[in-house]
Structure 1
Amino acid sequence: MPECRDCQNPADRLRHQVKHCVGNEIRGTVDWDSIPNDLALVYDHARAHPDIDPDRIVVLVHSEGVVHTARLISDQRINPLGLVLLARPAESPRNTVRWQWASRAATGFLEQVGGAGSQAVSNEGIAGWCREQGMPDASCEQFMAPNEGWSDSTLTETMKGREFETMKESWLSLPGEDPYAHHLAEAGGVFASMNWWQGWLSDHTPVVDRLKSYEGAISVVLGDTDAVVPLDRQRDFYENLARSQPDTFELVVMPGKVHALGSNAVSGPMSEQAKLRVTETIRTMLEINKPDS
């Protein structure tokens, strides 16, 4: 990709990336099944390569890649020696989206009403905000809490049950072949097909359940400040898996690391500390089935 010499802000950089890196026609063919199918092709190609021992393959995947790799494991389409799973929720795709959407919507509302960093608002504060917006009392009623106000947790739980289900049904009613723009919309880009997004909204199977039949080594690596995959939402899932597979499973928590296991909130690069830890994990896994020299 050529350097963007005229980029002044993130929006400029996104438009530049879409122009030079995103083929809308191809991205529009990405669906819920095409991704695991592509991963399976890569795995099969590696197994067939003359310079690769088919019994000593370790799969390293990040975020969404873990979801699709777990699907392949569950369907017995791949059976690598080991799995290194980075920054991925243990719960189902649907519940992951449900939590992320509801939590972000709740945080946005609290900050809009109460100011940046607000963790709670009272009904009195909401009423004042409504008056500032010129909103009639009847319209404001929909924002009121059943008690004296909302906390971040109570509003998130309410939005999970009310707002998310409405949004989900709306998305699921659309044709699967329609384009799904996601965050690329403002730059004229297509992220995937609508079927890809519908897969996230309708897949109820927890990732950890799809890994229960796997007998190889598993290492899960999470950053303890990952806002996309909060550690406190995943720990119980993975600790239960560890108890059921004590000899083959490990949970690695990287202090101060976010979703990309570095310092940037979403994108890379991965920190040197995380790289070393992951590399050492892969090396250890490969020693498990190392042929005699």
Structure 2
Amino acid sequence: MLVLAASLALAVSPDPQPFAIPSADGYVLTGEADLPEGPSRGAVILVAGTGAFDRDASFGRSGTARDKLFADLAQRLNARGLTAVRFDRRGVRHGVPPAEIIDAAAAPTVTAENLSRDVGAIYDWTRSSTGLGARCVVFFAHSEGSAHVAGVAAAGAPEPALVIGMGAVLESKVSVLRWQGTGRDADSLAMMDADGDGVITNEEIRANWTKTPSAVFERLDPFLHPTGAWTVADLELLRANQTALFEQQKTVAMTMADEAPYPNAAAPAFSWSWWKSWLTDDEPLAARYARWSSPMILHYGSLDSQVREDRQRAAAEGVLPATQVRFISHPDRGHSLGTETLLGPLDEAIADQIADEAAAACPG
């Protein structure tokens, strides 16, 4: 059941405190609460995005300890008197050899609904007197993690003190996936039109492609046009062709059994039910967050390959009060607020800024 060596009120040890918490369906979530050296002023629950992430959220290739995004943030939060609550996504094992990280038996249960319920279970425990007993709780959500936190809001959970997002989604899951599949490349090409004349030359592409969302694929050749330039008509045709392919792939996906392993039995990271949610869930996440009046601070990088800030601003308009949501733009930073379009580590100044925001929400 619930395992923790010390309550938040008595936390004076800098050592991580392991926990095991049953989710709504009985699956046991594992993780750790990283405690500050003195009394804790509050707790920050860190929720990772898409992937087989354990509590460290390793998502970089710098070769340094800072590639472990959540472990790095935890240290910064601890330094400000906050407890960092980090957990292993269901179906993911921590501290084992790479070949043993994925628990294939759990794959059928890795659904969108369960992932939100898991975050809800962590939240309940963090606030509970049998858990951390935290009176001030902040959510930090990266990418898809924002969908899971939105699910907690939709379930009617008490309001947190603050929601901090990094590349967070406010549009619907269908909308963001459709853009990734049918709009990202055309939008990226349009961004390469340096002189704004409606014609994107191969010279402009070579000069600008690394500063666009499609740079995530790290391939220049597909964007070079055989005639030497793209026109507006070419971009429209590209969108149409990718839309047709997207619809074909959606049709195939919807024939798969919900409980089947996704993407396949050899790499069972999720269930097909989870993937189908990205093809069918068309409610904007902003509407789910609107059930809370908690302030939100959302950070976006201009190089973000997965989620675009302008689309999230549009999704929030008329749904979330402008006084509730603060958008922060970071030039030349990506989805994980580092120098790459997708991967971390976080820019150190931004990581400290996020930790300061959390601390300000829990003044103690």
The two structures have a TM-score, normalised by structure 2, of 0.58
Residue from 318, 330, 355 that aligns with 1:254: 330
Q: What is the one-letter code of the residue matched to 2:350?
A: A
- SS of equivalent residue, structure 1 residue 46: helix
Q: 2:266 matched to 1:181?
A: no
Q: What residue number does 2:221 align with?
A: 116
Q: 2:228 matched to 1:150?
A: no
For residues 156 and 175 of structure 1, what CA distance do their matches in structure 2 show?
A: 31
CA offsets 1:164-187 (integer angstroms, 9 cap, x no match): 2232122112110111127xx8xx
Q: What is the one-letter code of the residue matched to 1:217?
A: P
Q: What residue number does 1:101 align with?
A: 181
**Bigger relative contact order, structure 1 or 2, given CA contacts below 8 A and separation 6+?**
1
8 Å CA contact 1:224–1:254 kept in 2: the answer is yes
For residues 148 and 83 of structure 1, what CA distance do their matches in structure 2 show?
A: 40
Q: What residue number does 2:101 align with?
A: 21
Higher strand fraction (1 or 2): 2
CA offsets 1:220-274 (integer angstroms, 9 cap, x no match): 11111111112333333346556x241x321111222111111233332222112
For residues 117 and 193 of structure 1, what CA distance do their matches in structure 2 show?
A: 31
Residue segments in structure 2 that go unaligned for 5+ positions in a row: 1-53, 55-95, 189-201, 203-219
Q: What residue number does 1:281 align with?
A: 357
Higher helix fraction (1 or 2): 1
CA offsets 1:133-172 (integer angstroms, 9 cap, x no match): xxxxxxxxxxxxxx99512xx2354246533223212211
Q: What is the one-letter code of the residue matched to 2:223?
A: S
Aligned pairs (5 A) from 1:1-293: 19-49=99-129, 52-103=132-183, 116=221, 118=223, 149-151=233-235, 154-159=236-241, 161-181=243-263, 188-238=266-316, 244-246=321-323, 248-287=324-363, 290=364
CA offsets 1:16-67 (integer angstroms, 9 cap, x no match): 9751422222234311211011111100110114684544111111111101
CA offsets 1:66-120 (integer angstroms, 9 cap, x no match): 0111122122134212111111232100111111112367699xxxxx8726376
8 Å CA contact 2:169–2:312 kept in 1: the answer is yes
- SS of equivalent residue, structure 1 residue 19: helix
Q: What residue number does 2:20 align with?
A: none
For residues 222 and 236 of structure 1, what CA distance do their matches in structure 2 show?
A: 14
For residues 24 and 18 of structure 1, what CA distance do their matches in structure 2 show?
A: 13
Q: Aligned pairs, how many?
A: 241
For residues 40 and 171 of structure 1, what CA distance do their matches in structure 2 show?
A: 28
For residues 187 and 151 of structure 2, what CA distance do their matches in structure 1 show?
A: 32
For residues 159 and 278 of structure 1, what CA distance do their matches in structure 2 show?
A: 40
- Note closer, same or farther for the CA distance 1:214–1:202 as it changes in structure 2 (3 Å cut): same
RMSD: 3.4
For residues 285 and 156 of structure 1, what CA distance do their matches in structure 2 show?
A: 46
Q: What residue number does 2:37 align with?
A: none
- SS of equivalent residue, structure 1 residue 262: coil
- Note closer, same or farther for the CA distance 1:51–1:189 as it changes in structure 2 (3 Å cut): closer
* Identity percentage of aligned residues: 22
Residue segments in structure 1 that go unaligned for 5+ positions in a row: 2-15, 109-113, 126-146
Q: What is the one-letter code of the residue matched to 1:275?
A: A
Q: What is the one-letter code of the residue matched to 1:164?
A: F
8 Å CA contact 1:217–1:285 kept in 2: the answer is no
- Note closer, same or farther for the CA distance 1:148–1:71 as it changes in structure 2 (3 Å cut): closer
Q: What is the one-letter code of the residue matched to 1:155?
A: L
8 Å CA contact 2:338–2:344 kept in 1: the answer is yes
For residues 116 and 17 of structure 1, what CA distance do their matches in structure 2 show?
A: 37
Which structure has the larger Rg?
1
- SS of equivalent residue, structure 1 residue 191: strand
Q: What residue number does 1:140 align with?
A: none
